[in-house]
Structure 1
C-alpha cells in the first residue's frame, strides 16, 4: 500500500502522524511511504531521518494526497484539505466529527473511508488511540491553568501550591476518566486541593484509593457543581461521551457564581466542550474572558508539546496502521473488532451512530 504523511496545517499544530521509527516498520513490510517536506520538523524529526528509513519526501501536501492510498495524520482535515481527499482514500486520524457538521458533510461528499482514532475501542470500553493524548492534555490542563491564574493574564492571582501559612489553590476536575485523573495527579503534585467529580461511582472509588488525601471525590450533579464552582480557582472540563458531543455541565449563568479571575480549561473542546461558553481557540490566541472568567479552550493542546505527543501517539497507532496497510481497510476491520469501531464514515455513509445523533440526522435515511 502507499501511505501518505502530510504536514499538519492546523494553527500551531506541530505533531506529525508518523515518526521515522513508524515509517521504518512500514517500509520493512514493503509499503511505500510518502512524507511531505518538513512534516516532522515541529516534532524534532528531519527529512533525512525519514529518508534514512526508506520514505520518499514530496514537496507539497497536494502531491502527498494525490500519490497515496491511505493518509495517516494527527488532526482532522481542515478546509484547505477538503478538495484533496477523494473516494480512493482511507484517512486515519482524529476526526471528532460530532463537533463539526461542515467536516462531516465534506467527508460524506468525497466518499472516502474515515477511520477515527478517538472511536477505536477495546472490548473493555477503553479507547487506546485517545488515551495517550488524553494523558498529555490532562497534565497540560493544570500546567496551562496554573499559568493563566496569574494576575497579569487576568487570573485570580493564585499560586496553586500555596506557601507556608497560605492555603493552596483549589482545583475542580469534572470527569474521572483519563483526562481527569491525569489532571488531578498533576494538581495534587503541585500541592493544590483537588475535588474530582463523576457520575461513575466505580471510578470515584478508584480515584479515592489511589490519590493522596488532598484529592477528594464527589458525585457529579448540577447542585454539587454549582456549589463547588463558587470557591474553586481552576476548573478542568474532562468529560467524554465516545464519538458524541460533550454534555454541558457548566451553563452560561453559572459563570456569575464564580469568583472573578477563575480559570476554566475545557479539554472536551474537541467534542464541543462541556462548558456552554466554550469556543475553540488556538495556541496563538488561547484564551478569552466572559463574565470575568478566563476560558482556555485550545482544541489541540498536545500540539504544544509535539515531541512527547508524536512519540506517544505513534506508539499506539502504528500496530493499526500496519494492519490497515497489510490487509486493506475492509479485511483489517473484519478481523479486528477494535479497529472496526473506528469506522465513522464509509463511502458516503455514516456508520457511527453518535455522529448522526449529534446533528439530529436519520442515519437510516442517508
Structure 2
C-alpha cells in the first residue's frame, strides 16, 4: 500500500458534521478494501470555531490546511452568528482558506443522474443527460477588491463600496484551467461576463480570447453575457459544456445550475490552486449546499454532495480516477434503486436518513468491488 494521504476534515456548522461523517465511513471502507489509506485530522471552521476560539479559523487550523494533501469542508454559518462582527463572521473562515491557500479555480459540476431527471423543476427533456462544469474564479473580483467598506457621508447618508477588479494573470490562470478541463470533456468553453456595461468584463473577454488564440485554439470558445447565461441555463442548459466566469457571476450561476439537478444536496465542488514544482496543488473540497440549520442534528440531510466532493478529491488531488468512478457508480446504483433522502424523495421511493444513505452507499461499494 502506498503512503497514506493526509486529509484535513473541517465539518463546520449545521449539517456539516453529519454529512462529513459519511465521508469518514467511505474513507474507512477504502482503507480496508482499496490500496489507499488516509491520515485523517479534524479541525474547526466557521461558527463552531467562533464559539470556541473567538475566530472563524485559527492560525493553527490554517497551518494544518496548508500542510494537508487536501481539505474537505462541510458547511459554515447560521443565524446563531448573524450578530457577530462582520470581520469574524463564519464565512470569513472559508474566505481565508480560499485566499491563503490561493485556491483560484472553483469547479462546480452540475450533473443530472438518470434516476433524478424527473425531480428537477424543469421538464425531463430539458435536463436529462445534463453534464455541465462551471469554473468560477475564486480569489479575485468583487469579493476581494479594494476599496471596500461602509462609509459615512458628510450629508449623513451611508455608502457601501465593493470593487470589481481583475488582472490579466488572474483571468489567464482560471481560463487555462477551463480550457484544459474542456479538452477532457466535449471540448467547448463558454466564457461569461458583462462586457457591455463593465470594464472588468471587457478585459475578461479580451484576455480569454487572447489566451485561447495563443494556447487553446483547438477548443471551441464562445462568449455570453451573464444575464443571458442565466436565462439560457433554464432554457436549454445542455448547450453548455464548460462555463468559465468570474467570482460574482460564478457564485450565482453555479447555484442556478445546481438546482437544475433537483437539489443542492447533490452538488459537489472543488477549489484548486496552482500546481507546484512537484506536481501537487493545494485543494479544498466542499458540497455546494449551506449549513441548513433548520434540519441540523436531525439526521435527514443529503450526504451525496459531500461524498461526491470526496470523489472529486480522489480524482483531482490524488489522481485516483478509478476509485472516484467507483464512488460515483455506487451513488448512481443507490439512486437507481429508489433510495432517497427527503430532499429528493417522492411517493414512489424509499426515504432514508443521512446515515441510512451512507449505509446504502457502503453496500453498493461492497457489491461493485467484488
* Structure with more strand by fraction: 2
TM-score of the superposition, structure 2-length normalised?
0.37
TM-score of the superposition, structure 1-length normalised?
0.37
